[in-house]
Chains A and B, each alone.
Chain A
């Protein structure tokens, strides 16, 4: 932890060993950039500008080019996120089968707008494009798992399970 209580942006020796392993895995070490950014996000909670500069240094890349990558992909969080991330699909099938109601219910239950995080840091609520689980529409992704065939009750049940 640094003075602000935030996680210090530096990999542990084990993590640095993993970075080296990843860099050596590919024909060009730059290919390890996405996996290392994913590692950084796990380690530091989100990818701050400081983290971008740190990772850029590990690859001898200009920070601008790391920033390009981080801003391009939707799964990189550039601000601190909640302990849990709920991504509600709002693409075609889910929209046809009630995604808007799911989002409205979650907004009301959590007291946040889409894109926001609850003040207690528990949940970040996102609206996302097709997660390719249309057979269980309307559906959402909560952390690592998919939950579908959502009803109000099921959504409440999902929320109850989040510490």
Chain B
């Protein structure tokens, strides 16, 4: 059984407390980090092959490296705890069961990038996680792990817990920044990228909760160890959120080299009632759907990319033979139409239109042109919007129809 790193304390009562975190070796990574130079930490994170675990899968160390050197003003660290990708719930677990892992990761990361102010943007619906995390932050301040001159290192860091107010698009890094700045969660034009000009106009690094939680372990046990856990292009383990038609839905931490098949059948207990697998959403709803004969892909970023989909947020939704794919598309299309921020034309107009068509098909009023219209609109809109939200929607729009066209056609013929 592979070693549990991020989830090792989840089952322990009081896992969210400083006392228990320390008892199980917490904040040792911080000591190691303070003995290093900030640039050395960034190098180590680069070598570890840690990749963003919120959805984009971008190499974390490389992202940190984009910060301008010797910048005269402040640099900010922003933790994206606006978990919203359907099928994903791992960050919630981390916030509730191991908040100090995030805090320790934040201190090390802030130290590495030269940030003295870190914002943790927690989705507004996560009230209990916000309270638990807030108490952990208070504990950290009391223990001198946050605030001025942390552990005598001379390094200052303040943490602001900022609650969202209900908008999936605030999980997009520049949408999050806009929301943090007190505006609508409208993503910003890129370039400039946040590392150059981000929150409040300052260079900003935005990282996912889980990504940052890995950092103390990389400090503790080294980049080579972390890299060795995974594949050539992605190191470490990651937490897979498994739900849908499985016997044991929940969070599973596995090395990224594991396969989707093993995750579903070995770890999550396969499909109840002996039913057959029809399809799997492998990386949150924005990932291309995989059919039952495509689940031997490895779960790393490149493995799933090669399988024609994406690792995304590692939200795995298992669908058995009873599922109507057209109905699933309608539900997913409704989500994208509801969450489109509306800022740019292709996404704003197409998400609404495609939902109307998808719903009409499910209601038995589909026209034979509708399927090709949805596919064409999705293809034409891909790559034209301000952010990747629409491209995320395009994943299900195209794959559900292409891979299960007969189900849609059956509803249209009726």
Contact = CB atoms under 8 A, between A and B. Distances in A.
Instruction: Indicate yes or no for A touching B, C-beta below 8 A.
Output: yes
Interface of A: 25-28, 30-35, 37-38, 59, 65, 68-69, 72-76, 87, 90-93, 95-97, 128-137, 141, 144-146
Interface stretch (B22-30, B44-52, B181-189): B181-189
Contacts of B179: 34
B346 interface: no
B331 A92 contact: yes
B274 to A, nearest CB: 17
Contact of B166 (A28, A74, A95, A132): A74
Given A27-B74, A73-B124, A93-B87, A135 B243 contact: yes
B94 interface: no
Contacts of A144: 127-128
A161 to B, nearest CB: 16
Contact of B200 (A27, A65, A131, A132): A27
Given A69-B184, A144-B127, A96 B244 contact: yes
Q: Interface residue tally of chain B, by bracket?
A: 35 or more
B328 to A, nearest CB: 6
Nearest to B88: A132
B310 to A, nearest CB: 17
Interface of B: 74, 83-89, 91-92, 117, 123-128, 160, 162-168, 179-185, 199-200, 202, 241-245, 249-251, 281, 285, 315, 317, 319, 323, 327-328, 331-332, 335, 338-339, 341
A32 B126 CA distance: 19
Contact of B125 (A30, A75, A95): A75
Given A30-B182, A91-B335, A96-B319, A73 B167 contact: yes
Contacts of B319: 96
Contacts of B339: 129
Contacts of B85: 130, 132
A34 B164 contact: yes
Contact of A38 (B165, B243, B338): B165
A69 B183 contact: yes
B165 A90 contact: no
Nearest to B200: A27
A130 B335 contact: yes
